[in-house]
Structure 1
């Protein structure tokens, strides 16, 4: 008589699941006609959940733009539910720039390589591995866990989280808190101390188009009213402009904590002195002490010898909490009165306090797996689906735990070439997430 085999450990399953997800090309081009794979990824997630007896629901906002929702009942239905969310889409990748195929899910040198490895199919895989283990072993969380695997986060979430919040808010009934990207990753101070950055704030998103108009004409003529020239001058001024330093409470707390850990002085009036000593994460933190406006696209004309009457530019602006009015006034002054400013997308900044039982549970779970862990708050320079879920009154945190090699330039991997996640970090993360969800 054969003995039933033990269920696979979540530390083993997480690698397989992440690899499977990486091999599904879910590139989000920003164009619904060319964005691919979200439905296939949602169906894969549904299959992984169904295999262990968890019912889920796939919701499409448009053809192929699929998100998935499921609810894991807790032992105390009277408590507020916890939302655990991760997106399934990724930014596009050019295979000619990569050392491996961006959708190969290759295991090499202790890393799992592929577009989405840290943004954020790693966390999707952690969540699935934990839930599958629970279902096989009879574990029930202390409160309801709502799982959301969303489409379209990489283009602002209008076909994903925002659609769900606006059209299906009942799916999040009872949710009081949420965890998602980007937080819980380590910053090594010494062999026995690692800071784990918990996202308690994120900058707002403001995507703008600038339009300049001029007199059309023949490209061979002398021309003093050229829309392309006017636009380029405005874009150049904006691209070179540095907005003033504004230190928000979250950033101040982070810099004070990290300065103490590093044994350096912190001058609130000159935070760049501290940021310059942060190594690989300086790029993330440096973007959280001021508003930013980066030109990203240009469009003008239809023929080589025709001076167009209109030229346009897209600008990706990230705005600190409470800074919207000041930011737009300064931007208007920089680009000048003759350039039209069109609002394409606006999602406000978020900021919450670094306190409460959920923070305590994060810290305890991290310390259990890494005795050298210390949690600190920080602000994300980008944006996440939390902007949608916060509209329902849900308190949102970035907590996707990863222990990283001290020399890994983690921030460069987001939307970068050769995106990859350390296998040991992935296995660490699933252990922390398992313990955290059991205690939250």
Structure 2
């Protein structure tokens, strides 16, 4: 059966407008558009199997199948009308299908004049949803989203006729993996409803990442289905071009496509032949890059997420390049072997003296915001309740924005520094294969420096919210991943038996999670806790810290450490700074409810302080605990590494000496803290995680870590978690700290 339903009679046209309806929708969704288009425009809508004339057909649940079939029919239609320009429009789920159809057409060399997406999150931000939605879940979604009238949901034939269609449509989006999305060389217009409660209007700016040929964003009054409720306004935005030539429809064809409702054509609506529609700023635009909040929002809107395979950082890098070059600073994009996965460099030239460069290092990629339910769009850069929310707001696009804004503010004032300052936005910090180790190996001359400033140290508060302690970290904690494996007999789920794989894995997890490594802070951690005792206003907390530091036997140290954690306003952070830690990150077993699986697994990350516990002994202790549950434990390394090689790598990294605090960079930081945060204690410190700085520190180059903004415990705990955030006022104040720090490198 045909996929396209023509809603206008014209067949010899200058423009073919192909529309994709929303979840559960049909071509009827676009009936109001028939009277809004000028003569010479063919309006066609996609009819998916299971509805309308195709009600007897089985619904489709694979996006690629829809895109391929529609692309083939559109290609045939264009062959019958040479010279016709093609515009694809999709609403909600239809936006995703329109985008995939656009990709299919371009792979076949078919020209697409424009792609218009309405009320749909960027395809690149979607992740597969496991399982199949139940009938009750589908009804709930349809009711909550307002996609189906209440009387239809209650209709006796709903389950038979309409429910399978809606389940299939939801499966189309549930099965979509946005990590496979890629930019198209087709202009994209994104239209959002300001009252849409399903897709945040601002989130749609993210579609800019998926085009290399021009982007236009518009927000209009209306909710999720504004293409029906505000048809005239939406059609006007759909037909507004991106300019002349290859970036959109020609002026002549745009006018032929123009709105004609009520006798008002596009010329009349826009005020004459010389009038042009105003475009909303694209995602790559920021009015003032010295405003760290606006710059951080821009950075967050680029989805650079991944889970260790390397993210798409090229659009982000291009945006940063434009900003630096506008400030007169040479900038460079360094590609890696993975397409669109790039490093970015900008070099602020110094006065030509002998002081070696300072490298300001911030990773441009972020961990995926998947699995958990955010309350805001993780890639929307949403500001609410005094906080900036989004993946990377804290770690570390907020810090990147603070670094960059502080430097640009100096440059705007005409400042010169006593050394080159290299701004590096690296990729693959989140575990990909082409991170800074690769960059340093391949392009050392570009990144050679005398000191590195990156993420790491915390600025924490007193209970009343005023800043208490600022640390500049001089060493990273290092870690390995261990895997637990239980093997048993697979059988029918009606026949449980002792020693099933899942229960043994559960027992091993419990044993290891309740295993507390000894309190054993290293020299940097002791320095940090000494400063913490001096900075706190809580005498009992200070006394517990001092008792932990002064303890002469392990039991006393462990008891005092437990008291420190109990009294701390940052208990999880301080626990991680005093001992090795074990954190379970995944578990898996089973694939069908009638089968008891014969294999179960779990993974944990084990973190070690340099100069702390013996990792070999700790791993052996964990292995013995796993054996008590009849579970095997092995250490995982990089691809191709054996367990011993992974352990050897860990030991080499732990042996790297910490960075010295006896440098001008460290002193400039401490002086700047005293200026911006009077009476706040400063200290060198130990980071509880790893950074991108290891390739420099391993070469004897000082690497310092800082998150310049003050953070409460709740915000710190949202790092890599749901609703990641940083305070707006705190981000601005942190940028001022960096501004003052860089100020001490100025030459008169």
TM-score band by shorter chain is 0.7 to 0.9
For the residue of structure 2 that corresponds to 1:78, the secondary structure is coil
Within-5 A mapping of 1:127-138: 127-138=403-414
Contact 1:11/1:427 (8 A) holds in 2: no
> For the Cα contact (< 8 Å) 1:72–1:144, is it kept in 2?
yes
Q: What residue is the counterpart of 2:301 in the other structure?
A: 23
Alignment partner of 1:416 out of 717, 721, 732? 721
- 2:707 is aligned with 1:400: yes
- State the 4+ residue runs in structure 1 displaced beyond 6 angstroms: 8-11, 189-193
Comparing 180-189 with 93-102, which one deviates more in the overlay? 93-102
Task: State the SS of the aligned residue for 2:416.
Answer: coil
- Could you say which residue in structure 1 is the equivalent of 2:680? 373
Alignment match, 2:742 = 437
CA distance in 1, matches of 2:636, 2:465: 48
Q: 1:107 to 1:222 in 2, by over 3 A?
A: closer
Q: Which position in structure 2 is the counterpart of 1:339? A: 632
After superposition, the C-alpha distances for 1:132-173 in whole angstroms (9 at most, x for unaligned) are: 23333322222121221012223x253322321233233222
CA distance in 1, matches of 2:676, 2:589: 55
Shift of residue 335 of structure 1? 1.5
Q: Corresponding residue for 2:529?
A: 255
Query: How far apart in 2 are the matches of 1:96 and 1:399?
Result: 28
Matched residue, 1:271: 561
Partner of 1:4: none
Cα separation, 2, equivalents of 1:14 and 1:63: 29
The verdict on how the C-alpha distance between 1:10 and 1:261 changes in structure 2, with shifts beyond 3 A counting, is farther
2:471 aligned residue (188, 193, 197): 197
**Residues 1:291 and 2:580 aligned together:** yes
Structure 2: which 5+ runs fail to align? Answer: 1-285, 550-556, 639-645
C-alpha displacement of 1:433? 1.0
- Relative contact order: is structure 1 or structure 2 higher (C-alpha 8 Å, sep ≥ 6)? 1
RMSD of aligned alpha carbons: 2.9
Contact 1:9/1:133 (<8 A) preserved = no
Residue 208 of structure 1 corresponds to: 482
Q: 1:215 to 1:186 in 2, by over 3 A?
A: closer
Post-superposition Cα deviations, 1:385-431, rounded to whole Å, max 9, x if no partner, equal 12343233322111231135xx6633223123222222221111222
Q: CA contact under 8 A between 1:87 and 1:120: conserved in structure 2? A: yes
Between 362-371 and 180-189, the greater mean CA deviation after superposition = 180-189
Q: CA deviation at 1:194?
A: 2.7
Q: Secondary structure at the match of 1:393?
A: coil
Matches within 5 A, 1:316-335: 316-322=605-611, 323=613, 324-335=615-626
8 A Cα contact 1:11 1:431, kept in partner: no
Report what 1:314 is aligned to. 603
Deviation at 1:250, TM superposition (A): 1.5
TM-score, with structure 2 as normaliser: 0.52
How far residue 182 of structure 1 moved from its aligned partner, in angstroms, is: 2.0
1:241 pairs with 2:488: no
Larger Rg: 2
The Cα of 1:301 is off from its aligned counterpart by 4.4
Q: Is the 8 A contact 2:296 2:393 kept in 1?
A: yes
Q: Number of residues paired by the alignment?
A: 425
Instruction: Point out where structure 1 has 5 or more consecutive residues left out of the alignment.
Output: 1-7
Q: In structure 1, what is the Cα distance between the partners aligned to 2:633 and 2:572?
A: 31
Between structures 1 and 2, the one with greater strand share: 1
- TM-score, L = length of structure 1: 0.86
Q: Which residue is equivalent to 2:730?
A: 425
Distance 1:167 1:299, change over 3 A: farther
Q: Which moved more, 1:386-395 or 1:414-423?
A: 386-395
Residue 56 (structure 1) aligned with residue 361 (structure 2): no
* Residues 246, 289 of structure 1: 8 Å contact kept: yes
Match of 1:14 among 292, 295, 308: 292
